[in-house]
Amino acid sequence: MSDGLEAMAPDAALDMYLETRRGEASDNTLQSHKYRIGKFVEWCEEEDITNLNDLSGRDLHAFRVWRREEGDLKMVTLRGQLSTLRSFLRFCASVNAVPEGLRSKVMLPTVSTGEQVSETSLDAARAENILAYLNRYQYASRRHVIFLTLWHTGMRVGALRALDLDDCQLDTRSPGVELVHRPEQDTPLKNKERGERWVALSERIAQVLQDYIEGPREDVTDEYGREPLVTTSHGRPTTSTLRDAIYCVTRPCAVGEGCPHDRDPDDCDATHIHQASTCPSSRSPHDIRSGAITAHLLEDVPHEIVSDRMDVSRKVLDKHYDRRTKREKMEQRRDYLPDN
């Protein structure tokens, strides 16, 4: 022990860090941090670093190189992982495990603005083709309800999972669903109480949901006695189940289209439900959300309405979700300009 530092093992520091963040960070954030910092703990074990007091700037540089090469990471991914490590080291300094200021020796790679943004999305034309197929061949099925709701509301998959029957008002002239943060019953919202809101539905979408409820929906409760809107035979679906449904229906071959990758469906691993994400054309719930936001903006829905409806700040909306091209933005601005 030196300079007022107190001995602490890397794995013990990780446990303490996660426990400190619990309650202020979402479960998804905690899982992400556990994975990212876990890689640092793994490296410490390989290097026989058993006491964080011994860490130096040279060690942090060595980890940076190891993580980049071991994970074959893109610069933007590496930057995100190292930023999490900085947060961890700031916490470690607060409990006298590392010197104050050690975090500043974690050098973050420079990435361009374009590299910081995921370019994958789902355009409106593909979404409407998928919906047309589901409406005709799988009407009011669970997959139909999942895709339809995510596309038309732009809500996160965790928000859809959190919905109960009691949160839905479908048989009114102004149908909608209420999103409520219930972390104590395993249905948190990403932005906690700030993410609570009513989301309007069209009468057509409300009818599909009602037909699902009265038809194929499994009439079950979850472990807390609540009645989820979307169900499986076991109760409330896991997030993975909802994600798998999205990956499945966004494969072209799943909605009556030919394979654009010249694969034989009989030999393609992506035709299996748990491997649907390996199809190059499949899309994630995040892609559905970004596509939905872009579709709203292309319809000239004001940014403020999109921001409130989809629980996203204007800054994040502009940077990470708005997929309009520069040309499309210009043409929309043109509509507001005088002719002379």
CA angle 159, 155, 26 (to 5 degrees): 45
In the chain, which ranges are E strands? 168-169, 176-179, 197-200
Query: Which pLDDT score is estimated for 107?
Result: 85
Q: Using one digit for the tens of pLDDT, what is the confidence trace for 259-296?
A: 888 878 778 888 888 888 888 888 888 889 888 888 87
**C-beta neighbour count of 172 within 10 angstroms:** 9
Nearest-angstrom CA–CA distance, 249 and 151: 12
The C-alpha atoms of residue 337 and residue 167 are separated, in whole angstroms, by 42
Given a cut of 50, the residues of the chain with pLDDT beneath it are 1, 113-118, 340
pLDDT for residue 10: 94
Rounded to whole angstroms, the Cα distance separating 302 from 262 reads 41
From the list 167, 198, 165, the residue with the least C-alpha distance to 310 is 198
> Tell me, what's the pLDDT at 132?
94
One DSSP character per residue, 59-97 reads: HHHHHHHHHHHHHT--HHHHHHHHHHHHHHHHHHHHTTS
pLDDT in tens, 179-204: 999 999 999 998 889 889 999 999 99
pLDDT, position 111: 55
The pLDDT of residue 115 is 44
Give the closest residue to 87 by CA, choosing from 76, 71, 77, 98: 98
